[in-house]
Structure 1
Amino acid sequence: MSAKGTLRRNKTDIQKHLCGDYRLILNKVIEKNLITEREYNNLKSINKEDVEGHVVELVDKIMNKGEKCCQSFLNLLQTDEDVETTFPELKDIRLNDTCLLPEPTQACSADNDDVESKRQNKEEQYQLNSQPVGLCLIINNENFTDGINRSGTNKDAESLAKVFSWLGFRVLMCTDQTKDQMAQVLKYLASPRDQSQPEEFNFKEWFGTGFIDRHQAPVHGDAFVCCILSHGKQGVVLGVDREPLSIKQITRTFKATDKSPLTGKPKLFLIQACQGQQIQPGVLLQDLEDDDCPSPFIPEVADVLVAIATVEDYAAIRHKTDGSWFIQSVCQQLKEGCQRREDITTILQRVNDEVSQKEASSKPGAKKQMPEVRFTLRKRLVLSP
């Protein structure tokens, strides 16, 4: 069934539940750009309508915008944490009858072309078959030795833990690491024969709804994710001792070797840290061949993706309560895009777009942020819940 058909079939129940907090759902749809600023203002100020009337107008507006908008609205109802908490009854409504990413229709008779197509698709995508899928390490630097703390970083750590646990990863966290401690824990996870005991690194592990002390040795799977939440400067992240660790050194620690358990496997680095002190302004838009020869060898820096909160020289914005623009967008876009079986680069492109549209000042265009993604992935990386 189409998204619009699903929305139409469940329209009465959806409207009944959304009446519980109309302002919240209205703010959510404008955040996701499902309606324009003008439509938002009109819906917010309808006269002679009760709350139910406002909700009816909103849902009708969404349905009139077509299939794509309806699908985005259904995704919002199913994946947004605030919506899930405020409207728990929505779980009882069958909103997932529509296929978030339609499966290709198979011919009645399987021929050689079908077999070859499946083989090529498998070769072009990283295979994630291990249980758990892999390790997700979060380095969460909040309390710095100079007394300057990073308020809001725990919200980012929790959001990352929830989404990567949902995606099948074992999530470990180290807090308040110096530059040397960060380097040591990364080396430990990259070196299969390292004899250090996990207790030395004070790992905490995400378990259900929070982090607990855990001393079970980490074991790699088919993918690795490293999230670093800290202060930073151009090309580096800072330990809590204000000493710099270069992003290049971080990624090179996991370069492919004959003995590495991660050789040939995807390695993602998500970095929430300033890359300078400048505030990035906005600009008003005026108008809207290689040999195909397989080889048994891969470059040692292959299979890496680095996503940084901001381009070099500029600051990254973090709310003291709600967390950072970048990490919160990453987590939300993962929840939405992974259900549609989108690859990671497509999802992070949406993050770039979403963060770029945010405003950090009452004056439009005065304070902006532009994340940066660079990668040497050789295949599509699709993470699934």
Structure 2
Amino acid sequence: MEFREKLLKVDQVLNSDDTKALAFLCKDILKCDISSVESPIDLFQRLEEKDVLSEDQPYLLADLLRVIEHFKLLRELDLNSTMSTTVNPITPYRKLLYELSKDIGQKELKNIKFLLNNDLQSSALELNVSTLEVFLEMERKDLLSSSNLLRLEKILKDVRPALWKQIQQFKDSQGKIAQETGLVDLRPRSSSDASRRGKDLDAKEYPMSGPKKSYCLIFNNFDFSSSSPELSDRTGTHMDAESLSIVFDWLDFEVKVEPNATRDKMLSSMRELASRDHSEMDCVACVILSHGLKGGVYGVDGEEVQLEELTECLNGVRCASLIGKPKLFFIQACQGNKMEQGVPAQANRPALPEVSDQTERPSGPGVHAQTDGPSSPGDLCSDASVASETLPSMADFLTAMSTPPSYVSVRNPEKGTWFIQSLCRNLVRLVPSDKDLVSILIEVIQDLKKKSNSSNWRQIPEYTTNLTKLVVFPVPERPCPSLPTASTGSRKCRFSMPHTLMV
């Protein structure tokens, strides 16, 4: 039986209660309001978009059926022996709550609702509200989480002591895992949780609980018609600007896009940003989408701006309210005309898979790709980054660049740049997993390391940092955003990387 036929079979067999149970078990994976999950097929589509369920990765489906004890269906679909060899995406915490719900009868549930009468809305205490729905409401009210089981323990100790012991066993097992791995707290953090913990935040992380939104300034330079003929219009950059705006807004940043900025406008905008009072904000991000050259980027007037001129606007002397706070720069611009070539993998290591970037149009004589630097032989389209030597010697700066000095970076005229699209995709994918920014950038590098075109052109981003702590964005309380695609506009994106160059 084909994998999609198996998914359809599951959809046909499971009832509405089963659907709610599956959605509950996947809540930590989906990071969204699971009340909108209408059917198993709906859930499976969302899991496919999260890259945790596929024909090659059927483990989650098997584990879900195993947890809700549909063993007959497991056998019929030949999934009974399917087990993941890696960490299971269903969290032990979520499994614990589901197991507890199975042992809570109607009378006990009524007593639980009685004890929560002053904490939950009346709609959550009605007779038809299930145990899992009560747990979800407790989570919304910040009364229940993987590291905050005290209220549930107290309630179950009064209502069903045997289940209270089950929670104690869970906490003991999690404590042993933490000791063995050296990890103290693996749970995703929300902004409300960070605010509640206040001074208890890990000293190795920058505080991310400021009362005001952080700020993200995006320079989106497209129209170079008034500059040198060597600098062509940057088609496709609107996809990058839109994706960045969506993602940083989701991360609770105040986002401002400056379109087609000249050199003077870029510098004046940075000075205006530096003049603000950031004392109640957590950090600042600046993204530059433009043509470039080694050591700098271009305004749309063709005038060069050194990266150092931009970063110095936010140093401790010129912007005292950002002292000790992360200042993040993401540079998508040409750094030169060299093209990164693929090299043979070591004999004792498997070669990286090559992903063609010519899936829509053939390669051949006279075929040109677009770059974000001055025209060069072949008119290569590159968005190379600014040289690392231009970084100021100040603390708490991170600069992520689409390519090393002297090299080009690829921009798809319809889908945006490899670097920015991968950055947005990985922020959406990994922020809910509590990954720090440097770890996310490493994933971006891994993303692009696997990409090439038919001429074996490759691109490897780089980052330079003198951050003194980890940048860990609070998990947004809003659902994960949809990213635009060339074919769907603003409709849901499956986070696929662009695979074509303009020819």
Q: TM-score range by the shorter chain?
A: 0.5 to 0.7
Instruction: Give the structure with the larger strand fraction.
Output: 1
Aligned to 1:178: 262
- Segment of structure 1 superposing worse, 300-309 or 119-128: 119-128
Task: Evaluate the alpha carbon distance shift between residue 186 and residue 258 of structure 1 in structure 2; reply closer, same or farther with a 3 A threshold.
Answer: closer
Paired position in structure 2 for 1:284? 344
Q: Which runs of 5+ in 1 are unaligned?
A: 37-55, 72-93, 109-115, 194-217, 289-298
Among 305, 309, 315, the alignment partner of 1:245 is: 305
Secondary structure of the 1:251 match is: helix
1:85-124 map, 5 Å: 122-124=202-204
Q: Is the 8 A contact 2:337 2:407 kept in 1?
A: yes
> Number of residues paired by the alignment?
287
2:436 is the counterpart of 1:356:
no
Displacement of 1:17: 4.1
1:133-282 correspondence to structure 2 within 5 Å: 133-144=213-224, 145-146=226-227, 148-192=232-276, 221-257=281-317, 260-282=320-342
Tell me the distance in 2 between the aligned counterparts of 1:165 and 1:276: 32
* CA distance in structure 2 between the aligned counterparts of 1:69 and 1:355, rounded to whole angstroms: 26
Note if contact 1:233-1:276 (Cα within 8 Å) is conserved in structure 2. yes
8 Å Cα contact 1:256-1:263 kept in structure 2: yes
Query: Which of 397, 411, 427 is the equivalent residue of 1:334?
Result: 427
CA contact (8 A) 1:255 1:300 kept: no
Distance change in 2, residues 1:34/1:317 (3 Å): farther
Unpaired segments ≥5 residues, structure 2:
1-21, 30-37, 57-75, 91-132, 137-144, 149-169, 174-183, 186-196, 350-391, 477-503
Q: Residue 122 of structure 1: SS of its match in structure 2?
A: coil
Question: Which residue, out of 382, 394, 398, partners 1:301?
Answer: 394
Aligned to 2:459: 369
> Normalised by the size of structure 1, how large is the TM-score?
0.63
What's 1:16 paired with? 41
Give the aligned residue type for 2:274: A
2:417 is the counterpart of 1:324: yes
TM-score (norm 2): 0.49
The aligned counterpart of 2:209 is 129
SS in 2 for 1:242: coil
What SS is found at the alignment partner of 2:321?
coil
Q: Which string of whole-angstrom CA distances, capped at 9 and with x for unpartnered residues, describes residues 304-329 of structure 1?
A: 10000111111111111111111111
1:33 & 1:232 partners in 2: Cα distance?
A: 40
**Structure-to-structure mapping, 1:20-99, within 5 angstroms:** 64-68=83-87
Q: What SS is found at the alignment partner of 1:373?
A: strand
Partner amino acid, structure 1, of 2:402: A
Q: 1:338–1:303: structure 2 CA closer, same or farther, 3 Å change rule?
A: same
Q: Residue by residue, what CA displacement relative to the aligned partner does 1:184-236 show, whole Å, maximum 9, x if unpaired?
A: 1111111249xxxxxxxxxxxxxxxxxxxxxxxx9972210001100111121
Letter in 1 for 2:222: E
User: Would the alpha carbon gap of residues 192 and 17 (structure 1) be closer, same or farther in structure 2, given more than 3 Å must change?
Assistant: closer
* Residues 317/263 of structure 1: CA separation in 2 closer, same or farther (3 Å cut): same
Residues in 2 aligned to 1:275 and 1:236: alpha-carbon distance in whole angstroms: 8
SS in 1 for 2:267: helix
- 2:407 counterpart of 1:314: yes
Q: Distance in 1 between matches of 2:448 and 2:421?
A: 10
Q: For the residues of structure 2 that align with 1:358 and 1:178, how far apart are their CA atoms? A: 33
Contact 1:270 1:306 (C-alpha < 8 Å) held by counterparts: yes
Contact 2:279 2:322 (C-alpha < 8 Å) held by counterparts: no
The answer to whether residue 470 in structure 2 is matched with residue 380 in structure 1 is yes
The alignment partner of 2:223 has SS state of coil
Max Rg structure: 2
AA in 2 matched with 1:233? L
Partner SS, residue 305 of structure 2: strand
C-alpha distance in 1, partners of 2:276/2:395? Answer: 19
AA matched with 1:376? N
CA separation in 1, counterparts of 2:473 and 2:45?
Answer: 34
Q: Quote the Cα distance in structure 1 between the aligned partners of 2:273 and 2:447.
A: 32
* Residues in 2 aligned to 1:279 and 1:33: alpha-carbon distance in whole angstroms: 36
Q: Structure 1 pair 362/382, CA: closer, same or farther in 2 (3 Å)?
A: same
- Three-state SS of the structure 2 residue aligned to 1:310 is coil
Q: Distance in 1 between matches of 2:343 and 2:147?
A: 40
CA distance in structure 1 between the partners assigned to 2:53 and 2:405 by the alignment: 28
1:189–1:283 distance in 2 versus 1, CA, 3 Å: same
The superposition leaves residues 52-106 of structure 1 with CA deviations (integer Å, 9 ceiling, x where unpaired) of xxxx99x969x654444757xxxxxxxxxxxxxxxxxxxxxx9xx9xxx976987
Q: What secondary structure sits across from 1:269 in the alignment?
A: strand
Shift of residue 130, structure 1, vs aligned partner:
2.1
What is the DSSP-based 3-state SS (H/G/I as helix, E as strand, rest coil) of the residue aligned with 1:261? helix
Shift of 1:260: 2.1
Structure 1 residues 378 and 321 mapped into 2: Cα distance closer, same or farther (>3 Å)?
same
Letter in 2 for 1:180: D
Displacement, 1:272?
A: 0.7
Matching residue's letter, 2:466: T
SS in 1 for 2:218: strand
| Alignment check: 8 A CA contact 1:135 1:220 kept | no
CA RMSD of aligned residues (A): 4.3
Q: Is the 8 A contact 2:274 2:319 kept in 1?
A: no
User: How far, CA to CA, are the matches of 2:292 and 2:443 in structure 1?
Assistant: 24
Check the 8 A contact 1:220/1:262 in 2, yes or no. Answer: no
Q: Distance in 2 between matches of 1:165 and 1:251?
A: 22
Q: Distance in 2 between matches of 1:220 and 1:228?
A: 25
For 1:135 and 1:20, the matched residues in 2 are separated by: 34
